[in-house]
Amino acid sequence: MPQLHGAAVSSCSSGYMITTATDSYAVGDAIHVVVRGISSDTTFRGILLFAKDSNNTIVGSWTTNDLFVRNVSCGGVIHNSQVDKNSVEAVFHVPPNLVGNIEIQATIAKTESIIFINCYKVTLTSRVVNELVTTISPLTSEPLNTTATILPSSTTTSNPPPDNHISVNVSWTFDSENVTRAHMAITNLMSAEWAAIALTQRDDMGEAHVFICRRLANDTVDVNRYINPSGHAHPVLAGSEQGGTFTAEQQIFENGVVYCQFTLSNFTTSLRKEVEGIRKLSQSTRYHPMFAIGQLDSSNELKQHAGNARTVQSRFVQLSRAETIEFNVTRLKKKSILVQAHGSILVFTWILIVSTGILFARYFKNSWSNNLICDKAVWYTVHLTLMSASAILTVLGFMFIFVYNKGGWVKEKEEFAHAIVGVIVVGLAFFQPFIALFRCEPSSPYRFFFNYLHAFVGFVAFILSITAIVLATIYFTSIFLDNTAWIIMIVWACWVIAIFIAFEYVQRKVDSSKSSSLDKTQSSDTSDSMTKESGMPSFPLLINRNDEQLTNFRQQRLKNILLGLHALIAIGISVTLVVLIFQTD
C-alpha cells in the first residue's frame, strides 16, 4: 500500500484496533474480524486485511458483506473506495491442514499520506491438548514437567464438537446522517434457533429493546425488532413508535455463519413512554447489552431461552458511536438421566405418596374400624407403608443428584436455593421414621409430645417439598423449558390448600355429630334414673340409631370421594411434571 500511494510508513497510532470473535482456531472455523476506530470520529480511508501463518505465507480465504470492502485474489480484504469509514468487517475461513499460529494483520491508511503497517494484528493459536507427564529425575528426585502437543486430526480431538459452542459478534457504526448500521454474525447457530441482542438500561432482565436474528428450519434467515416490556415477558414486535425506524438489510446463512444486518434511523427526541411502559429507543442513551440464545418451535415462534443462554453485560454501549460486542455460550448438553430420575422420583414421592399418607393419618383414623391389616388399623398400615416408601425414595432421589454433581453443590446462584431447601427436606424425611419408631407407649403421659413433633416435622417437610419443586421449575430452565411446570405447581399448591380445608370441614362435621350423639345418650341415662327413683314407668328416650349411622355413612363416603379426587389430581400433576422433565429440547 505505501508503494501504491507513494507515502512513507507512519508511526503506529493508538486510534485503531482489530478484534476477532475468538483467540484460537480449529480447521474449518469461520472467524469474524472487525477493524475499527477507537471512537466514532476516528476514521480511515484505506484498509488491507490478511492472514499469515508462522512461515509468513498468506493463508486462508475471506468473505465479507461489508459495503466498504471487497476480496482480493491474493487472499485478503481491501477497501472498495477511499471514503472515510469508521469500521470494516470480514470473516476469515481457516484452511485445512494448517499447523501453528495464525496472525491476522490490518494495514490501515488514515489518509493517502498517513499509513500504518505492522501496527494492528491478532494472533490465533491452534486449539491443542496439553498432557502433563510427570517423571522423577534420579539426580534431583524432583518432578519434571514435559508437555506433549497433540495436533487436531480427523479422528481424535480434545475440543468440544463445533455445534457445542455458539459465538455472537455484534457491531455497529454511526454516520453523519444519524444512522446506526448494525451487523450480527452468529457462529454455530443451528436450524430452528435464534440469537438476540437487547439494549436495557438495567443490568438485569428489565425492559429492553430486542433485535432477534432467526435461522429457520429451512436455513433461511430473518431479523426483526421487538420489545420486552416487562423483563421476563415474551417479546413482542415493535415499530417506529418505540423509537427510530428499523430497516432489515442483509440476512444470510453462509459457511456456517448467520449474518443479520439492519439500520436504525429517523430517531426523535421524545422521551415519553408508550402503552407497554417502555422508554423509546434513543441513540444518545447508554444501555447495557444483553444477549440470549433460544430455539424456535414448529411454527418458527420463539421459545424461551435456556438458563445459561442469557447474560447482561455490565458495560455500557451507545447507538451514537461505533461498538463491538461479543457473547459466547456453550450449548447445553442433553438432559442427564440422573437429573431426570432425581426429579421424577421426588415429584411422585412428594406430590402423590406423601400427601396421601398425610391425609390418611389425619382424617381416616376412625374409618374402616371393623377392618384390620396385619392386626393394625387400616389408616396406620397405609400411613406407615406410604411414609416408609417416601423416605426410601427421597434418599434414592437425593443419591441420583449427588452422583450427578459428583458430591458437590450447584453454583451459588438462584439454583442454590433449590439445593438448600431440598437438603432440608431430605434430612427431615430421613429422621421422620426414627421419630415415629422411638415414640413413647400410648399410655405414656409424654406420648402427645412425640405425636405433635411427628406431625410438625411431617407438615414442614411437605411444605418445603412444594417450595423446592417450585424453585426447580423457576430456575432450572434447562430442565423445564417454559413456564408450564411453574404454573402447574401453583395449581398444586392451591389444590393442597383446598383439599385440607375440605377435609377439615368434613372432619368437624363428624366430630360435631359424635358430640351431639353423646349428649343425647347422657340425657337419656339421666331421664331413666329419675323415673326409676320416682317409681314411675320408664319411657326411655329413643335415639334414632339409623339416622346416626346414615349420617356417618354419608360423611365417610364424602371423605372417600375427596380422597379419590385428590389421588386423581396428584397422579395427573405428577405425570405431567415427569413428562415435562423428560421433554426434549
CATH number assigned to the domain comprising residue 420? 1.20.120
Residues 444-471 pLDDT 10s = 888 888 888 888 999 999 999 999 999 9
Q: Last residue of some domain: 76, 98, 127? A: 127
Rounded to whole angstroms, how far apart are CA atoms 148 and 525? 100
- Same domain as 398, residue 259: no
- Same domain as 478, residue 461: yes
Residue 148 has pLDDT above 50, yes or no: no
Those residues with Cβ within 8 angstroms of residue 354's Cβ, 6 or more apart along the chain or in another chain: 386, 387, 390, 461, 462, 465
CATH number assigned to the domain comprising residue 63? 2.60.40.4060
Please give the DSSP secondary-structure letter assigned to residue 220: -
CATH number assigned to the domain comprising residue 181? 2.60.40.1210
- Same domain as 175, residue 43: no
- Same domain as 403, residue 300: no
Those residues with Cβ within 8 angstroms of residue 578's Cβ, 6 or more apart along the chain or in another chain: 343, 344, 347, 348
Residue 354 has pLDDT above 90, yes or no: yes
Those residues with Cβ within 8 angstroms of residue 452's Cβ, 6 or more apart along the chain or in another chain: none
Taking CA atoms, 255 is separated from 28, 61, 63, 276, 548, in Å, by 9, 11, 9, 39, 83
Q: Cell triple for residue 261?
A: 444486518
Q: Is residue 368 part of a domain?
A: yes
Contact 300, 265 (CB under 8 A): no
Contact 243, 281 (CB under 8 A): yes
Q: Is residue 106 part of a domain?
A: yes
Q: Last residue of some domain: 75, 101, 127? A: 127
- Using alpha carbons, select from 195, 197, 234 the residue that is nearest to residue 215: 195
Contact 203, 289 (CB under 8 A): no
Please give the DSSP secondary-structure letter assigned to residue 44: B
Q: Is residue 143 part of a domain?
A: no
Rounded to whole angstroms, how far apart are CA atoms 551 and 510? 9
Residues 481-494 pLDDT 10s = 678 899 999 999 99
Residues 229-274 pLDDT 10s = 764 557 788 888 888 899 998 899 988 889 999 999 988 765 444 5
Residue 340 has pLDDT above 60, yes or no: yes
Report the pLDDT value the prediction gives residue 19, as an integer from 0 to 100: 86
Render the burial of 241-260: b for 16+ CB within 10 Å, e for the rest: ebbbebeeeebebeebbbbb
**Sheet order of strands, 165-174 included:** 245-254, 257-265, 180-187, 165-174, 323-330
Q: Last residue of some domain: 111, 127, 143? A: 127
Report the pLDDT value the prediction gives residue 8, as an integer from 0 to 100: 59
SS3 473: helix
- Same domain as 280, residue 206: yes
- Same domain as 422, residue 450: yes
- Same domain as 469, residue 411: yes
Q: Is residue 455 part of a domain?
A: yes
Q: Is residue 216 part of a domain?
A: yes
Those residues with Cβ within 8 angstroms of residue 131's Cβ, 6 or more apart along the chain or in another chain: 147, 148, 150
Share of the chain above pLDDT 70, in %: 77
Rounded to whole angstroms, how far apart are CA atoms 279 and 271? 6
* Residue 411: pLDDT band with limits 50, 70, 90: low
- Same domain as 383, residue 513: yes
Higher pLDDT, 367 or 196: 196
Q: Is residue 536 part of a domain?
A: no
- Same domain as 497, residue 413: yes
Range of the domain at 52: 1-127
- Same domain as 96, residue 206: no
Q: Is residue 144 part of a domain?
A: no
SS3 273: strand
- Same domain as 383, residue 360: yes
Q: Is residue 136 part of a domain?
A: no
pLDDT mean over 520-546: 52
Give the CA angle between residues 404, 409, 413 to the nearest 5°: 115
* Residue 138: pLDDT band with limits 50, 70, 90: very low
Residue with cell 423457576: 474
Rounded to whole angstroms, how far apart are CA atoms 159 and 127? 7
Question: Bridge-partner residues for 376, per DSSP?
Answer: 373
- Same domain as 407, residue 351: yes
How many other CB atoms sit within 10 Å of the CB of residue 30?
A: 20
Render the burial of 445-463: b for 16+ CB within 10 Å, e for the rest: eeeeeeeeebeebbeebbe
Number of domain units in the chain:
3
* Residue 288: pLDDT band with limits 50, 70, 90: confident
Residues 270-285 pLDDT 10s = 544 454 567 888 888 8
pTM of the model: 0.51
Residue 130 has pLDDT above 50, yes or no: no
